């Protein structure tokens, strides 16, 4: 049976939900090997977090270069593993880091690359939603090893417990991939809420909050949702940049996206318009985001959200 | 310093886009300079200006590099009117439908020949939305990659660059020696509007056109192929409410959809 590599995805040293999604897609094609690239001494602990979904094997490579030199070092080792194992496909989480790793790995291994897949089938055909989600595209890599980045939260993951075999490989990071040095790293600001790209529900606030996110947060918490923000809100410093949804922020496609006081600029839509259900609350009936809303409330978010929060709580109790 | 800025002409974000035979139909939509590349042009100019300028005879030059059809000249001209010195546009019929691997191979060949200290890109082209070309350029050129920069500091004497990188993984401080490939996020600066003087001056600036033979690379057919594409049904017109119990209606809607 053929072998599929997934690049294990970690944020601040913690494995993300995306790993099980990558494994689920990978298992349609072949046996899944998760590649854990860890700082020296951290491999076993990180590998033990790859414990869900159809993962047959975990291979660990340890090197401080993965932290100190970033993308280039990770791509360097991933390409070495591809050369040694000739997998049927390589699946990587589709975020800035994952796409850059995929880019360099594709060049190194002489392979075609597909980014932002929302699905991957057993014959390694990737599904993408392009042009603002208005068009579905199926594509295939026709050269080398298919390198595919998969959007978090797009694939319905199998999450049964896994006990993969673990192996440590001793591979060297080449000097050529140590040309840029990371001198310090600050992890993303994490509140107690679900991570934006992984959440089933996202409630976002825009300029209409006028800097007061309490109503947005209250509604989000009643639903167990993540909080997002428009660029107007992050630029004003009301919410950290890592919460920005849109072209230059995060792309989310949750089951439910609730936009509060957000007008619907094309750059904001680019990050949320593939959400399954969209609810818009805006006091301007002409706000363009209503065009793509499944449910729109024309009203003041400060009046609507507290009532809705009560309503949700009442139904849940 | 010799600074290169890579810019792409893209269909206007608001324009309706269609696929024809598996590639984006670029003929029938308005085209503009990729807005994320304006930040790259601005940053290149600011870096030059901070260290003596890129005026005629000045110590630094900013060269615009683009690959695209003939009419990408307009986008290139815009970058020139902002203040870049000159430009190279790679145009060849064989490049229609080129993917990121081909694009990066062509750009890398042009950059290699030009011997640049810094190459500055946007983080993403608004049509392809791949965010891969800068990383591919660093790989192909075998130079340092300093991408997703929200701040760039250059020390021309020491030939060193430091950046602040912002991504979903947090905030990193990074540095490297010349030459390097940088990509900049939109928070880094406020791109200038071309002045009247800039627009007039740009008309006289040189845009060198090269075909693939002149670039010296041959490009195979794309390494990933679109099997099919189909328009998705547009979202059905939604419900819109504005009365007093709209909050309750919204909650009922969420409950019906089993979202609560
Ligand atoms: C290169 C570039 C990249 C960009 N990237 C992004 C991105 O990643 N993400 C992003 O979001 N934007 C991005 N933008 C910015 C984008 O163009 C818009 O400016 C931004 O999305 C607007 O945010 P907003 O909708 O919150 O604000 P506005 O457009 O000002 O809209 C505020 C809305 O709130 C409503 N409102 C006001 N008060 C209330 C109230 N009390 N109750 C209910 N509604 C109320 C108003 O009617 C209005 O519709 C980018 C722009 C550029 C140029
Ligand atoms: N055809 C092109 N010509 C010049 N620069 C390009 C081209 N395509 C991409 N780039 C550069 O690479 C960046 C990222 O593009 P992409 O990987 O296509 O999202 C852009 O912001 C440009 O700076």
The CATH code of domain A3-178 reads 3.40.50.620
Instruction: Tell me which residues of chain B, numbers 172 to 191, contact chain A at a CB-CB cutoff of 8 Å.
Output: 172-177, 180, 185-187
pLDDT, tens only, A125-140 = 999 998 878 889 999 9
**C-alpha distances in angstroms, A311 versus A62, A126, B238?**
51, 41, 21
pLDDT, tens only, B171-205 = 999 999 999 999 999 999 999 999 999 999 999 99
Pairwise pLDDT comparison (A112 vs A240), residue with the higher score: A112
Closest CA to B240 of A292, A200, A240: A292
pLDDT, tens only, A169-206 = 999 999 999 999 999 999 887 778 999 999 999 999 99
pLDDT, tens only, A244-275 = 999 999 999 999 999 999 999 999 999 999 99
Ligand 2 shell residues, CB under 6 Å = B 6-8, 34, 36-37, 40, 65-68, 100, 103, 107, 121-122, 124-125, 128-134
pLDDT at A230 over 90: yes
Which residues of chain B register pLDDT less than 70?
A: 13-19, 24, 26-28
What domains, with CATH codes, occur in chain B? Answer: 2-215 (3.40.50.620)
Mean pLDDT of chain A: 96
- In chain A, CATH 3.40.50.1220 sits at 196-316
Cβ contact A114–B224 (<8 Å)? yes
Range scoring the smallest mean pLDDT among A66-75, A291-300, B156-165, B223-232: B223-232
CB half-sphere exposure, A169, CA atoms < 13 A: 21
Rounded Cα distance between A151 and A131, Å, is 16
B234 CB within 8 Å of a chain A CB:
yes
Closest CA to A34 of A90, A88, A116: A90
In this structure, the strands spanning A10-11 and A14-15 are antiparallel
As assigned by CATH, the class of the A196-316 domain is alpha beta
| Prediction pTM value | 0.93
Instruction: Tell me which residues of chain B, numbers 34 to 73, contact chain A at a CB-CB cutoff of 8 Å.
Output: 36
Question: What pLDDT, on the 0 to 100 scale, is given for residue A254?
Answer: 95
CA of A232 to the centre of ligand 1 (A): 5
Q: What are φ and ψ of residue A46, in 5° steps?
A: -65, -40
Residue A83 CB burial class (10 angstroms; 0-12, 13-18, ≥19): exposed
pLDDT at A89 over 90: yes
- In chain A, CATH 3.40.50.620 sits at 3-178
pLDDT, tens only, A145-156 = 999 999 999 999
Tokens of A36: 């854990």
Report the pLDDT averaged over residues A63-75.
98
Report the pLDDT averaged over residues A101-115.
97
ipTM value for the complex: 0.93
């Amino acid at each position: 049976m053929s072998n599929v590599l997934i690049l294990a995805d970690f944020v601040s040293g913690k494995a993300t939900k995306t790993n099980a999604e990558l494994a689920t897609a990978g298992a349609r094609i072949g046996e899944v090997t998760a590649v854990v690239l860890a700082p020296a001494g951290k491999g076993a602990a990180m590998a033990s977090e790859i414990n869900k979904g159809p993962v047959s094997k975990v291979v660990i490579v340890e090197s401080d270069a993965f932290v100190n030199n970033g993308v280039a070092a990770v791509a360097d080792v991933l390409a070495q593993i591809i050369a040694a194992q000739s997998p049927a496909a390589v699946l990587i989480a589709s975020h800035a880091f994952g796409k850059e790793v995929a880019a360099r790995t594709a060049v190194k291994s002489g392979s075609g690359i597909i980014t932002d897949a929302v699905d991957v089938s057993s014959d390694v055909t990737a599904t993408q939603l392009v042009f603002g989600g208005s068009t579905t595209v199926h594509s295939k890599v026709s050269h080398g090893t298919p390198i595919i980045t998969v959007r978090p939260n797009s694939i319905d993951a199998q999450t049964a417990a896994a006990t993969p075999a673990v192996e440590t490989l001793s591979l060297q990071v080449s000097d050529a991939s140590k040309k840029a040095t990371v001198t310090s790293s600050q992890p993303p600001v994490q509140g107690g809420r679900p991570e934006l790209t992984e959440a089933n529900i996202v409630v976002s606030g825009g300029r209409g909050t006028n800097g007061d996110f309490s109503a947005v947060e209250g509604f989000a918490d009643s639903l167990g949702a993540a909080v997002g923000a428009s660029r107007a809100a992050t630029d004003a410093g009301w919410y950290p940049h890592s919460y920005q949804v849109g072209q230059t922020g995060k792309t989310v496609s949750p089951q439910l996206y609730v936009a509060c006081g957000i007008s619907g600029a094309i750059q904001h839509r680019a990050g949320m318009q593939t959400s399954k259900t969209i609810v818009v609350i805006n006091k301007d009936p002409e706000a363009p985001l209503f065009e793509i809303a499944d449910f729109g409330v024309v009203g003041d978010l400060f009046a609507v959200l507290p009532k809705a929060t009560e309503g949700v709580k009442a139904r849940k109790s | 310093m010799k600074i290169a800025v890579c810019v792409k002409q893209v269909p206007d974000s608001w324009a309706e886009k269609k696929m024809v035979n598996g590639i984006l139909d670029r003929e029938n939509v308005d085209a503009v300079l990729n807005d994320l590349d304006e930040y790259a042009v601005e940053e290149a100019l600011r870096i030059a200006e901070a260290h003596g300028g890129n005026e005629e005879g000045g110590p630094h030059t900013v060269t615009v590099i683009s690959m695209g059809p003939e009419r990408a000249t307009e986008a290139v001209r815009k970058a020139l009117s902002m203040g870049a010195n000159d430009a190279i546009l790679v145009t060849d019929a064989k490049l229609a439908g080129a993917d990121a691997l081909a694009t990066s191979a062509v750009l890398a060949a042009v950059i290699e020949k030009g011997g640049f200290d810094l190459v500055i890109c946007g983080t993403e082209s608004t049509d392809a939305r791949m965010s891969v070309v800068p990383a591919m350029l660093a790989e192909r050129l075998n130079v340092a990659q300093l991408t997703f920069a929200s701040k760039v500091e250059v020390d021309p004497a020491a030939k060193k660059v430091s950046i602040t990188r912002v991504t979903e993984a947090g905030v990193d401080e990074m540095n490297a020696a010349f030459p390097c490939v940088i990509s900049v996020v939109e928070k880094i600066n406020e791109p200038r509007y071309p002045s009247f003087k800039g627009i007039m001056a740009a008309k006289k600036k040189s845009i060198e056109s090269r075909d693939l033979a002149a670039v010296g690379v041959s490009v195979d057919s794309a390494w990933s192929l679109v099997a099919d594409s189909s328009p998705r049904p547009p979202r059905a017109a939604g419900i819109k409410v504005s009365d007093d119990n709209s909050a309750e209606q919204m909650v009922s809607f969420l409950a019906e959809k089993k979202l609560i």
